[in-house]
Chain A
């Protein structure tokens, strides 16, 4: 098998189109299961009451905001080192989904913070570094589109994305390195300090967020491929192009 077969935009375009619906189906099924566990099965928290249930959205989106940035940065590194076309398109396709997850994490966090902490927002290290992540996504997207030549935009934005990687460990470890208002991690490689049903619900919702992110990226990368390769012969030969 040729592993590089699907690294060409023309072959990946078809593959992405065939795979995307399956990821959306999986995402929907997992979200239904996760929300059932989170909203109906999981017990009320001893201290916070019902308001804690925002973690079933907040934690998966916050994790995804960081994972997606990391994956985007990996594609950016491939772009800069190997000058591959598809990796730059993938990075462009991931960015809006990453920004969306970052925004949802900040937004749900604010609405959880108001009843729990007594404030929507504080400038502690965790919240501030996550806001910086949102601006990194925005910066990446504007820089990638700021050039007449899309290949130059790819490279400039890839550099920015790689510089921004420094922010990821800062977000993750901020609650350990400094005194923050945000609590420490409930789930780590060493174990968890959460009730098991709450944890299961959260992990199922995270799996759903993964599936959604993959599906959305595949759909978006198809648009990016179409736009970039619009003058290529294979696009004119597509059945949907002749319609």
Chain B
């Protein structure tokens, strides 16, 4: 082999080995790379018990209740199969809405209610003008819901 063919083979081989190693490492750390758990995982108790973690899903319609002091709010996060009751005191992001994506950080109390210390809105990948969104809604198109359930739905990967 010419020296430059040798170098090319060495580089290709090295990159392949590196790729395999990276895939193995990422696979091993799979659970730690997850930004949030789904309500189904919470129900199955697949979540850390004595430290903070995040729950992600959709804000269940009709469950948002604001308390009298106006800063406390309770709602439920659902992934379609299970839901987690959440209580939070603080300012909610602008995109926080019933039926929209949300990620809450905190821990489950002894009463089974998830006490959130931070609530983040999760946006989906759909960009459209208000008229288009309205038309979809009237046609009963479950676009946002489908997209979110696709990412969070039950498993860690897909």
Contact = CB atoms under 8 A, between A and B. Distances in A.
Interface of A: 43-49, 52, 55, 77, 80-83, 115-119, 122, 124-125, 162-163, 165-166, 170, 175-181, 183-186, 193-195, 198
Interface residues of B, number: 51
10 contacts: A48-B95, A118-B93, A118-B96, A118-B119, A163-B18, A177-B157, A179-B38, A186-B126, A193-B127, A198-B127
A47 B11 contact: no
A206 B124 CA distance: 22
B122 A117 contact: yes
Contacts of A178: 30, 33-35, 156-157
Nearest to A194: B127
B34 A116 contact: no
A44 B130 contact: yes
Contact of A186 (B119, B127, B130, B158): B127
A151 to B, nearest CB: 15
A155 B74 CA distance: 58
Interface of B: 4, 7-8, 11, 14-15, 18-19, 22, 26, 30, 33-38, 56, 91-96, 100, 103, 118-134, 143, 147, 150-152, 156-158
A52 B151 CA distance: 22
A122 B103 CA distance: 11
A78 to B, nearest CB: 10
B22 A181 contact: no
B35 A181 contact: yes
B21 to A, nearest CB: 8
Contact of A194 (B15, B36, B128): B128
Contacts of A175: 151
Nearest to A164: B18
Nearest to A165: B15
A180 to B, nearest CB: 5
Contacts of B134: 46
Given A47-B95, A81-B8, A179-B56, A122 B125 contact: no
A227 B45 CA distance: 62
Contacts of A162: 11, 14-15
Contact of A166 (B19, B56, B129): B19
A82 B128 contact: no
B51 to A, nearest CB: 15
A185 B130 CA distance: 21
A47 B122 contact: no
Contacts of B130: 43-44, 46
Nearest to B7: A81
Contacts of A186: 125-127
A43 B124 CA distance: 18
A120 B151 CA distance: 22
